Every structure is written in C-alpha cells, then in structure tokens.
Structure 1
Amino acid sequence: MEGLVMTAQLILGLSILVGVHEWGHLIAAKAFGMRVEKFSIGFPPKIWGFQYGETEYSIGAIPLGGFVKISGMIDESLDTKNMKAEPDPWEFRAKPAWQRLIVMMGGIIVNVITGILIFIGLFYSQGESIVTKEELNKHGILAYELGQEIGFKTGDKVLEVNGKDFKEFTDLISPETIMAENASYLVQRGNEKITINIPITFLDKYSDKENKGRFISFLLPFEVGQVMVGTGADKGGLKEGDKFVSINGQPITYFHELKEVLDKSSDTEITAVVKRKSGKEESLNIQVDEDGTLGFYPVSLLNYSHYDYNLAEATVKGTEEAFGKVWVNILGFGKIFRGEVSLSKSLSGPIRIAQIYGGTWSWVKFWNITGLLSMILAFMNFLPIPALDGGHVVFLTYEMVSGRKPSDQFLENAQKVGMILLLGIMGFAIFNDIFQSIF
C-alpha cells in the first residue's frame, strides 16, 4: 500500500509540474501567434487525448516529463522535414528572436511562479511552528553519531552558526548552513565556548541515506500522553500526565534517555519512578514490550512558537523560501564540481523522489515537496544544455547579440547531443536510485 501511495504522489506531483511548465510554453507561443501542434503531459505512447482548435492535448503513458510541439521549431522530436521551406507566419522560426526567447523562458517562469505560489499558500494556510534559539538552549542539543563525529556533545548549547546569530533550530541543520564555505558552530559546553568546524567530507556523509536524521536534534522533555489499553503501561499503572523520574534507578528527563533504557530492556519488567500531576512520586512495575515500548504516546513539553501570517507576510516568506531552494541547488552544484560531495548521493531519480514523498499521504508534505520540485525543475531547465530550455536560451541570446542566427543543421545536431546527454543522465539517475535502494 505504501508503494502505491508513493507512486500516486510522484505521478500527481510530476503531472502538475510538467503540466504547468509546458502550459507556460504553450500560452507564450499562442500569445505571439505561433501554431502549437501538440501539448502532452507524459511521453508516448498516448493513452488519452483530444483536439481543441489547432492543438492536440494528450496524456502519455510515461509520466516522467512532457512536451509542447510548436510549428517551425527544432525540438526533441527532431522533426525537420519542413525546415527547408520558407517559414509560414505562424511558425516559431518566423518570429523575432525576442519573442522566441520569451516562449522558451515561459516554462521556467511558470514553474518559478508555481513554486512561489505553493510556498505562499503553505505559509498563509499553515503558519509556522518553530523551536526558537532561546527554547533550544534551555535544554541543549541531542548529538547523534554524525554530530558526535564532528565534535558535538549532547547538552551543547549553540550560540552562533557560521559566525552569525540564528533564530531557530532548523537554522542549524539547513542546507544553506551545512553547505556554506568554512561552515562552523559556536557552542557553550559548561563554562567553555567551543568552535565546531564542519569538515569538507561531512556533506557526503550527511547526504547518505543511512545517516538520515542522525546528525543533531533538540533535547525533548516530555510527559505521558494517551495510554493505550491493554499495554504494559496500562497494566503497570502509568497515567496520562505522569513524568518519569527514573527507570531502574537511572534518571530520566528527556525522551531519548527513555528510549535508550527501553531498547536495552525489551521484553523485561522495569521499575519506574514517576511524578504524578499532584506532585507525588510513585514507583511502578511495568512490562516492556518485545519492541522496546511501553504503550503510551509522549507529549512534548517544549514551548513551540507558532506564527500565523497574513497574505502580505506569507508572500514575503513564501518567496524567500522558494528562492532559497534555488540557492541551495546552486551551492550543491558547487560542492559536486569541487568533489566535496559525490554525484551519486546528490542526484535523485523518480524512485528516490517517490521515497521523499513517502508512503503516507499528507497534503502539507505533498505541496512542500511539489513546491521544492517546481523550483528545482525551473533551475535545471535553465542550465545551458542543448535540448533543455536553457540551451535554447543560449542560442537565442547569441542571435540577439550577434545578429546571426545559428544554422538549422547546427541546432539539429545540438539537439541530438543534448538528447543523448539527457537520456544518459536519466539512465544514470534511475540506475543510481535502484543501486541506492538495494545497497
């Protein structure tokens, strides 16, 4: 069932993004009087379609892209049989270079607008809940293996990130922070201030799927929430609102301490001292399940700060968030080119994208990922690679600056090279997805 949900979210997300991207090309072409022969979401074979006016609209069986076929344009179809004849007024090649440039930028522009609108909608409808720096440092951070490897210790209080103050916990683990040049943290450990530098090799380890969520988190004070009927917690007398004092004589304050003790005590009976809502302490004998759980839902005692945004504030936040995604991709490309992170751990194909969406359906998560992918799609399409929009933009810019149009033969050959390159990248991405999923 999880696989079906992943697949459904992937297909829906890509269909939305490809649809609006190709619609950007279509609407710009029609605005300048160009004939659009075909508009397809997905690649052939066609599974459904209809004719409206001069354009055939269809859905293809391979949901990994789409296309718009504009008369008189050398594109991925490589249909050049009519290119030697004089251009008709409605053809792409008959229009001024500036109009053709806008048509080629249309998909990128609409993807950027889509990404911005998605993030504006999320901030406006959901607001934002954060753990502030002040709340974080009341308790300190929880250092997992990867955090300990670079020098963090549980209980450290973070004062600065990359030489600057920060607002909230997510600033500590954001890609912008980790991928910055000479990235570092200033922490308070007891009475000592310590600088923790992020080594060049860190990002490669951080992006490894096995290290997901194993860097740092915040220490989580908690109390007992709902107790499930018939479990060890229920039979042992644990009640909602209880706070653990100790288990088998070991003090318990934070949730990770409880988990560590329970993981070592699976399928045994423990002695837990808890503080009731009344303030009275009681000792309970509780049976731990085979999977190391007691049978209750923990309730966080952290003071999360929630912000609701009006439309103007959401517009600012959403726009910043959208373009922040693009900046992260630029930083990531720089790291790859410098050899600081491997391409195989950074490049995601359809399988890994589906895994990012996940096996449970959450509309908030779905739109967050789709907004991210919209900005990535815009950025990737702007790269100066033949067969991508960015390649066409380069050739059109050259034509506008020099006054000389590249020959049709050159454009056709460039398109072929670009298609081979893109197919190679797609093949590598899919193979890499399979390899990473297995190993």
Structure 2
Amino acid sequence: MEVFLIKALQLMLSLSILVLLHEGGHFFFSKLFGVRVEKFYLFFDPWFHLFEFKPKNSDTTYGLGWLPLGGYCKISGMIDESFDTEQLKQPMQPYEFRSKPAWQRMLIMIGGVLVNFLLALFIYSMILFHWGDDYVATKHMTQGMKFNTEAKALGFQDHDILVGTDKGEFKTYDGDMYRDLSTATRVDIIRGGKPMSLNLPGDLDMLSMIKESPRFVEVYIPLQIDSVMKDSPASKLGLVKGDKILTVNGKKVESFNDFQLEMGRVNDVLTAATSHQDSVKALTASVEYVKASGDTLKNSVLLQAGDEGVKFGFYNHPVMLDYKVTHISYGFFQSFPAGVKYGWNVLSGYVGDMKYVFTKEGAKSLGGFGALGSLFPSMWDWHAFWMMTAFLSIILAFMNILPIPALDGGHVFFLLYEVITGRKPGDKFMERAEYVGFGILLLLLVVANLNDVLRFFGLM
C-alpha cells in the first residue's frame, strides 16, 4: 500500500505541474492579446468543485476541481470542452477569442504545447546541470548480453558485447539501442575479446523485440545469490550467499535471466489455476543447487505468491555495480544545449515509435493512469521524478498538437484551414467536431485504462 501511495503521489504532483503550466500557456497568450479567461482550473469540476476564488477586479475565476484527469482554461468566445455555446449566440465582443485575428488565436491555442515542450527541455537541462549524466556504456558491460532464439538465428551469441551499428556507437542499454538495432544493417560486437560484425536485415519489428519473452536482447545477469530473505522459500532450502542454483523444475538456469524466465512461467501456470490444489501444484518447485561447500542437493519448496508475482526470496548480485560508470558533468550554460539535444532525442524516439500504436500489439500496449503511475519509482527519488516529469511533458505536448478535434492540435488545424482558404468554419461545424473529438478522447481513455485493469488481473 505504501508503494502504491508513493507512486500515486508522484504521478499526481507531476501531472499537476504539467497541467497547471500547460493551461498557463493558454492563459498567458490570452491575456497578452486581451482575450478574457473566464475560468482557470486545475482538475475538472463536473457538478461541483473543491475550491475557487475570484480576485477583486478580475474577470477570471481560479479553482480546484475534484476529478484529477487534467485541467482547463475557459476562454470567452471559444468552442471548447465546456460546450458552452450560449455566448456564441450573442453579438461578438472585442474581448472574445472569436474576435481576434487568426494568428493570435493560433498562438493562444499552441501556448500550452509550447510551454510543455520548453518545460521538458528546461527540466532536462537542469537535471544535467545538477546531477550530470551517469550511464554504463554497452561496450563496458563485460558480461555481455543475453539473446533470445530470434536474435541467435541472426548470429548473436550469449555474452556478445554490443558496441554499435552502422548508425553509430551505442550509449547504453535503452530504447535508443533497440531503435538502432531494429533499423541497422550491421552491428559491431566483441566476442571472446575479438571485435567482429554481424549483418542485420534493417527492418526488425522493435515492438516485438521488446515485448517478446524473453526479449530480443537483455543485459546478461549472472545468477549470484547476494542475500536471502527471512522466512522465504530460499531460506527454507538453506540457501546462503555463495550457493548456486542449477535447475528449477528440471529447467537449467545458467543466469539470473533464465531464473526470472522460469519464475514467469510458474506465475503463468498459477494465474491459470482454477482450484487451490492447482495453485499449490503450480507453486511447488523442484530446485537443484550447489552449496558453497561443493555438495549438490535437490529439494522441493513451496514458492510464495505476491502482488508482483511469484517470489523465491533472494536478492541477486546487481551486476551493473561491477561495471565502469561513465559520468559527464555540465556547467550551467553547457547544460542547455545538452538538455535540448537530450529532449529532442526523446521526442524523435517517441514520435518514431507512434507507428506501433496502430498495430494489434501496440493497441494492447496502451496504458492509462495505472501504467503512468507504475513508471515512477517505488521510493521517492527526485532525479527519477524530474526525468519522468520531463518525459510526460513531451508526451503531453506531442499528444495535444495532434490534429484531433477537442485537442489544441484540432483547433490549430481548423485555424490553418481558415488562414489558407480565408473561410472560417461555422460554429455549428466546430461544435460537432468538438463532440466527435471529445468522443475519440473518451474512447482512448477507456481503452487505455481498461488495458491497465486487464494487466492487473493478468488477463493481458
């Protein structure tokens, strides 16, 4: 429960900052061009609100809603998600959105996206200034990688050290590495201490590479028991630091990667169990292991089922601690171009990956608030918090600029049409478009959060 609350609080704080500043972008340009803002709300307020106030001599009511799905800035003379069309039946007023030139209306509409994008670049810059950039380069991962059967069919072998592709040298094990591998025609590796290259097809499906179990490529993690949890299955077997597990349920486990795969299989069988007897059978594991003294033993033990899957009860030695860490420090002024480069790389990668959303597996990958919350660490970590906030800011900026009615991008699309053709879409058309766009957004919201629920119950 504590972990859930920490993740939820981080998500709430992050979204509050992003929504507040996003709506602040609309607010700024509205005020700049003399457009009246009737309401400025953090969170939505259907039926009632938690708090609101209106400063003296101000046209704007500021408030806090109860539904934490976003926020809004209600602008006079504009058809938006409030669907307030009564004012549009009245004579046009000089302080209304509809009375302003198209270029001013366009700046008002892109104000939120602009703020979110600039905010992300600023956060990345300040992260690099304050913490610098720490990473383990793939070429310094001396244990190499663990590959699945598809990768091995292309010529990879376990323990190959990845260096780079024809697109350039890898930085570390991350999404960029997968993107490069999926489109590369050559990969450079180190095998047995000798540099060599493999040919790749150049059109691998990155989503499948990541979603397959086991993945196309993972960091090779030797199976080394570091410590054992009290009253756990591992402790009941008498396992201690230095002991080595050989097999689980007859399956050889040569690495911690193999061990996690076997625990995943046990969890799948447990999920499919329809009776208590079936559950006990699924959790009963046969384990062969070697003690530090050299004795080989084989025993059965009842594994533990928890919220996060089946547990064996030991901590593996974190192999990343054995590798050289590359640290790059940035001065205050150096951090800005570095932050812009980092943010632009994140944006281009995210945009490039959008093509997978329109596939069957991509649709299953959509996530709602549960998926977003799970991205935050289980312990409060300001570095991770700001990294995630910057990433969400880029997502919010990109998603909002899509030409979907009800989003900022939809309004911009119709404004561009007006500028090009010289004809302004009718109010009735805009109202209907807003309803259609709002329906699309609600559908996406339902699908994304339904995916979260299905994943929670192990049905996806």
Shift of 1:322: 1.5
Q: Provide closer, same or farther for how the CA distance between residues 355 and 97 of structure 1 changes in structure 2, counting only shifts above 3 A.
A: same
| CA distance in 2 between partners of 1:423 and 1:294 (Å) | 43
Counterparts of 1:216-231 in structure 2, within 5 Å, are: 216-219=217-220
Task: Give 2:108's match in structure 1, choosing from 103, 106, 123.
Answer: 103
Shift of 1:12: 1.4
Moved more, 344-353 or 104-113: 344-353
Shift of 1:207: 4.8
Runs of 5+ unmatched residues, structure 2: 248-252, 264-284, 304-310
Shift of 1:350: 1.1
Q: Provide closer, same or farther for how the CA distance between residues 78 and 329 of structure 1 changes in structure 2, counting only shifts above 3 A.
A: same
- What is residue 268 of structure 2 aligned with on the other side? none
Q: Provide closer, same or farther for how the CA distance between residues 140 and 197 of structure 1 changes in structure 2, counting only shifts above 3 A.
A: farther
| CA distance in 1 between partners of 2:361 and 2:216 (Å) | 19
- What is residue 185 of structure 1 aligned with on the other side? 187
Which SS does the other structure have where 1:372 is aligned?
helix
Equivalent position amino acid for 1:107 in 2: G
| CA distance in 2 between partners of 1:266 and 1:126 (Å) | 46
Equivalent position amino acid for 1:272 in 2: A
Equivalent position amino acid for 2:124 in 1: F
**In the alignment, does 2:179 pair up with 1:176?**
yes
Q: Is the 8 A contact 1:6 1:355 kept in 2?
A: yes
Question: Deviation digits for residues 69-92 of structure 1, max 9, x if unmatched?
Answer: 011111111111121332111111
Which SS does the other structure have where 2:50 is aligned?
strand
- What is residue 277 of structure 1 aligned with on the other side? none
**In the alignment, does 2:68 pair up with 1:63?**
yes
Shift of 1:293: 6.5
Equivalent position amino acid for 2:140 in 1: E
Shift of 1:104: 0.3
Counterparts of 1:12-27 in structure 2, within 5 Å, are: 12-27=13-28
Q: Is the 8 A contact 1:186 1:196 kept in 2?
A: no
- What is residue 158 of structure 1 aligned with on the other side? 162
Which SS does the other structure have where 1:357 is aligned?
coil
Question: Deviation digits for residues 349-398 of structure 1, max 9, x if unmatched?
Answer: 11111112243322221211111110011001111111110111111112
TM-score, scaled to structure 2: 0.76
Counterparts of 1:303-382 in structure 2, within 5 Å, are: 303-337=324-358, 339=359, 342-382=361-401
Shift of 1:313: 2.7
- What is residue 280 of structure 1 aligned with on the other side? none
- What is residue 413 of structure 2 aligned with on the other side? 394
Q: Provide closer, same or farther for how the CA distance between residues 59 and 89 of structure 1 changes in structure 2, counting only shifts above 3 A.
A: same
Question: Deviation digits for residues 115-141 of structure 1, max 9, x if unmatched?
Answer: 1111111111111122235423x4432
Moved more, 21-30 or 412-421: 412-421
Equivalent position amino acid for 1:391 in 2: G
Q: Is the 8 A contact 2:221 2:257 kept in 1?
A: no
Which SS does the other structure have where 1:88 is aligned?
coil
Counterparts of 1:296-307 in structure 2, within 5 Å, are: 300-307=321-328
Q: Is the 8 A contact 1:222 1:301 kept in 2?
A: no
Moved more, 360-369 or 213-222: 213-222
- What is residue 29 of structure 2 aligned with on the other side? 28
Q: Is the 8 A contact 1:237 1:284 kept in 2?
A: no
| CA distance in 1 between partners of 2:153 and 2:175 (Å) | 16
Task: Give 1:130's match in structure 2, choosing from 113, 117, 135.
Answer: 135
Shift of 1:165: 3.0
Compute the RMSD of aligned alpha carbons: 3.8
Shift of 1:193: 3.9
Counterparts of 1:194-213 in structure 2, within 5 Å, are: 194-197=198-201, 200=204, 202-208=205-211, 211=213
Shift of 1:40: 1.0
Q: Provide closer, same or farther for how the CA distance between residues 256 and 6 of structure 1 changes in structure 2, counting only shifts above 3 A.
A: farther
Shift of 1:93: 0.9
Q: Is the 8 A contact 1:221 1:301 kept in 2?
A: no
- What is residue 40 of structure 1 aligned with on the other side? 41
Equivalenced residues, count? 410
Moved more, 423-432 or 168-177: 168-177
- What is residue 278 of structure 1 aligned with on the other side? none
Which SS does the other structure have where 2:330 is aligned?
coil
